[in-house]
A = this chain, B = another copy of it.
Amino acid sequence: MDVGDHEAKAALFDGFAQVAKALSTGRRIELIDVLEQGERHVEELAAEIDQSVANTSFHLRALAAAGLVRTRRDGNRIHYRLASPRVGALWAALRDVAIAHHDELDTLAADYLGDRSGFEPIGRGELARRLDEGDVLVLDVRPHPEYAAGHIAGAHCIPVDDLDRQLAELPDDLEVVAYCRGPFCVYADQAVRRLSAAGRQARRLEDGFPQWRDAGLPVAAGAGAGGR
């Protein structure tokens, strides 16, 4: 019987392993995490992961070779995007396993994110309800291009670096909810800390924009709604 020999099985599972290998360095996972927010071009991505453009291009090619990422040419820019939402689901599954079972991850996360114990996040369902009622101010504190690529309907675009500058212009009668890329993104935490320090009532959204979008909750796109 020529079906089912060990050599072919090894080759097949090595094929699966190639996909895992594409995620086997932190830089490439950072790229996935950013690309889950929407498509970006190489220079932006290089800045996001704090690497040279050449190295970033190399990593993007590796992701593309594994089928995780696709490209689109626009003028002389090349935009990268995730091949499908499945890739985001894989990244989420990886996160879940790592946080649940990898012992060092708690301390690594605490080193990066700081102590979150004092800050209770707000759930997606509750935020959706309160957005309907209009008694909450939602801030998208990710970088501009990610807001433009897609954001929670009704959210205002204030990247965390611009927050201090625009603090005074915020209406002061509403509780503030900040959100960013996902559960291991630091932007919303930074925003909540600064808002709290300024005496505002502020919480972060559990998870981030991709999870809101994938849950089928209302989203909008374009730079339109702008700051403030």
Interface residues of A in 1-23 (CB under 8 A from B): 1-6, 8-21, 23
Collect the chain B residues with CB atoms within 8 Å of residue A190's CB: 1, 3-4
Collect the chain B residues with CB atoms within 8 Å of residue A90's CB: 90, 93-94, 96-97
A194 to chain B, nearest CB (A): 9
A55 to chain B, nearest CB (A): 13
A149 to chain B, nearest CB (A): 21
A99 to chain B, nearest CB (A): 9
* Chain A contact residue count (CB 8 A cutoff): 64
A93, B95: Cβ atoms under 8 Å? no
CA distance A119 to B37 in the complex (A): 40
Interface residues of A in 84-135 (CB under 8 A from B): 84, 86-87, 89-90, 92-98, 100-105, 108-109, 111-114
Contact of A3 among B1, B102, B114, B184 (CB under 8 A): B114
A148 CB-CB contact with B under 8 Å: no
A27 CB-CB contact with B under 8 Å: yes
CA distance A5 to B21 in the complex (A): 26
List the B residue with the shortest CB-CB distance to A111: B8
Interface residues of A in 64-90 (CB under 8 A from B): 66-68, 83-84, 86-87, 89-90
Contact of A186 among B3, B16, B113, B193 (CB under 8 A): B3
B68, A15: Cβ atoms under 8 Å? no
Contact of A112 among B3, B26, B111, B186 (CB under 8 A): B3
Binding site for B on A (CB under 8 A): 1-6, 8-21, 23-30, 33, 50, 66-68, 83-84, 86-87, 89-90, 92-98, 100-105, 108-109, 111-114, 184, 186-187, 189-190, 193
20 new A-B contacts at CB < 8 Å, known A6-B50, A13-B26, A20-B94: A3-B186, A3-B190, A4-B113, A4-B114, A5-B112, A10-B30, A12-B112, A12-B184, A13-B33, A15-B104, A16-B98, A16-B105, A67-B98, A67-B103, A83-B97, A86-B100, A86-B101, A89-B96, A90-B94, A93-B93
